Amino acid sequence: MTDIGKIVKSNSHVDYVCQVYNPLERDVIPSPEDYAFGRFVRVAGGDGQPALVGIIYNTILMNPEFGALGPRLSPASELEIFAPDYLNEKATLVGILVVGSLPADANSTPAQGIPGLSASVDSMVATLSDEEVVRFHVGDDAPRLAYLPELLSHTNPLIPHLVLNILEQLTAHFPAHETQLAVLRNNLAWRTQVEQAG
C-alpha cells in the first residue's frame, strides 16, 4: 500500500479529486504507476468507518505559471534561497470514482455500489494491495462486479476504457474465470467500437 495524496474536492457523492503528493510534502513521493489510470485506491474513512474503494479514471495537470512568460527576478533553481516563502503551485490531480467500501475487519464483507457516507476533504488516499482488490471482488462463485452498471452510466468517454482495464486486471486475479471475464470484455470492447463509429 502506497500513500498517494489527499482529497481536495468532490464533483459528486462518488466523484472525487485527489491531489498527489509532491516532493515537498513527503520524503517518499508516489510513482506515476501508483496513480495510473485504472488503479484501485482506498479513501480513508472516519473513525470506525470503512474505507471507500475507488478507481482512478482521470489525471489533470495544474500549472498556474503556464502563460506567465514575463521576466523572473530569480531563476527557478534559486527560489528556495531568495524566496523561501514561494509556493510551488504546480500539482497533479487525479479523478477517483468510488465503487464501494472495504471494512477494516478482514472477516467483514466488502460492499459494492454507492456508499452511504462520503469522504471528507483531506481524507488520505492510498493504493489497494492486490490482496485487497481480490477481497473486494470475491463473490460466491465468480468475481463480483455489482458496481459495473453504475460505472457504465457515467457519461465520461474514458469510462468504457476504464471498465476494459478493470476486466483485464480481474482476469489476472481470477484466472479460473478468464473465459467469463473475456466474454464480458469482448462484448464491451465491441460496443465501445460501435458507439465510437456511429
Give a yes or no: residue 47 inside a domain.
yes
Give a yes or no: residue 76 inside a domain.
yes
pLDDT of residue 10: 95
27 vs 148, which has greater pLDDT? Answer: 148
Per the CB < 8 A criterion, the answer to whether 91 and 22 are in contact is yes
Give a yes or no: residue 160 inside a domain.
no
- The whole-angstrom separation of Cα 59 and Cα 92 is 7
C-alpha cell recorded at residue 6? 489527499
Give a yes or no: residue 90 inside a domain.
yes
Domain membership of residue 34 as a residue range: 3-144
- Whether 118 has a pLDDT exceeding 80, the answer reads yes
Count of the separate structural domains present in the chain: 1
Q: Mean pLDDT throughout 75-103?
A: 74
118: left (phi > 0), else alpha (psi -120 to 50), else beta? beta
Task: Convert the pLDDT of each residue in 139-190 to its tens digit.
Answer: 888 899 999 999 988 888 899 999 999 999 999 999 999 998 898 888 888 8
Residues 15, 5, 106, 165: what is their CA dihedral angle, to the nearest 10 degrees?
60
Q: Which residue has the cell 466523484?
A: 15
